[in-house]
Structure 1
């Protein structure tokens, strides 16, 4: 009996060692608009793979600068397609590893239930003090917001009312807390399963701005980490796509 127990303990110990050998950590830089779905995706991925995901959320432009300066990220989920392509061209990401994981939607949103009408006419009515947008230099959603205002010929009229968030998450917070009456935010922040979860909103027609194509890429620091490649593959799975669609992405 003692020999059996000893043998069993050795077997369990070696099995545990094998599991820990195959499990890995992956450091992921995630555009702030994708924070909510990525947290769900990471949980599902960890359960399925045994790997651990370490997520950082922020503006795509800031992540680009951090990667250039040696940040330990192994996978980047960008809010645009240009940044991953640039990182590949500069030798900071793996050639052939970039792919589109989502197409974002821009929404004019207010925490006030009746402020934003179904066509966004409130933008030209002037019944608000501040309009929040993300920094267009570092956040693709901010660049899209300015493009919309230019196409509607409203930019000059609202320039003095603009308040700028460092990224789309901070922009959303400005509106949520009432520091700005309305703002351009990511659809993923205010919709779930196609339904608005509070306030009032106008889903901006995609014809008013360039597509917000969001690409992911395996960074050079993740080249030898199987968890980085596995997470990139999981983002293209049916399970991940269901989560992505639930948060309003195409």
Structure 2
């Protein structure tokens, strides 16, 4: 009987060692818009796969050394990138991405915050948003996709570009909401999924739909990834139906799948 117990114990130990040896560290370079969703979903993926996710944060674009393209260019290792879809296209063109590995993950609208405790302005209509921005002492926006839209298009659409240019400021790398929480700026714009996790601010709402800008987030396996299969498995999980409730809870929208055009029936 004692031999049987020893044999079972040895089997369990070997099984544990084998499982540990098979587990992989999947390194994900990720920009802020999808980070909150992945942080919530990572434990589910790790429990199912046995692999471990390592997050490396950085903007999808911009001049900061922490930006994902800059990290890859200087040789930092990653298995997966998750970032703004347009920026991912540039990585695809430069052959940083494994061909055919791109997966659409979520759509992210732009929203606005004020410092917690400050009066809550109305931004439901274009005219309300216009008045709010004209009255604001200062305006902050990001250096990524949402900020580029705010600075180059939103102000023009509202007809206030000249009036706000002296008080509108681009925030590099740092989450916009954290600067608003410190009282450095009166209002802040960024993707909703990047605003909601930050303490010390009040989320006012999304931009009115007719001046809204949706940022697509997508992921892909890096061309030089050490763990390609595990990276693909992660992206498949993040784009699955079971992940959508969590994704929407972080302020993003499920990617709408375009339905094929139905062909007319052939007359026999």
Partner secondary structure for residue 60 of structure 1: coil
**Mapped pair 1:175 → 2:180:** yes
Q: Which moved more, 1:205-214 or 1:2-11?
A: 205-214
What is the distance in 1 between the residues matched to 2:244 and 2:92? 25
What is the distance in 2 between the residues matched to 1:99 and 1:154? 38
**Contact preservation (8 Å) 1:29, 1:73:** yes
**Mapped pair 1:163 → 2:169:** yes
**Contact preservation (8 Å) 2:37, 2:250:** yes
Paired residue for 1:238?
Answer: 241
What is the distance in 1 between the residues matched to 2:176 and 2:201? 16
Among 241, 244, 252, the residue aligned to 1:249: 252
TM-score normalized with structure 2 length: 0.82
Flag the 1:236–1:202 CA change in 2: closer, same or farther, 3 A. Answer: closer
Q: Structure 1 unaligned segments of length 5 or more: list them.
A: none
Rg: which structure is higher?
2
Among 118, 129, 141, the residue aligned to 2:137: 129
What is the distance in 1 between the residues matched to 2:237 and 2:193? 20
**Contact preservation (8 Å) 2:125, 2:208:** no
1:67-86 mapped onto 2 (5 Å cutoff): 67-78=72-83, 80-86=84-90
Aligned positions, number: 241
TM-score normalized with structure 1 length: 0.87
Paired residue for 2:23?
Answer: 23
Flag the 1:122–1:211 CA change in 2: closer, same or farther, 3 A. Answer: closer
| CA distances 1:33-54 after superposition (whole Å, capped 9, x unpaired) | 2222111011221122111000
Among 93, 97, 121, the residue aligned to 1:89: 93
Q: Structure 2 unaligned segments of length 5 or more: list them.
A: 62-66, 254-268
Paired residue for 1:151?
Answer: 157
What is the distance in 1 between the residues matched to 2:107 and 2:87? 15
Backbone CA RMSD of aligned residues = 2.2
Structure 1 residue 32: Cα displacement:
1.1
**Contact preservation (8 Å) 1:107, 1:203:** yes
Partner secondary structure for residue 112 of structure 2: strand
Partner secondary structure for residue 165 of structure 2: helix
**Mapped pair 1:108 → 2:112:** yes
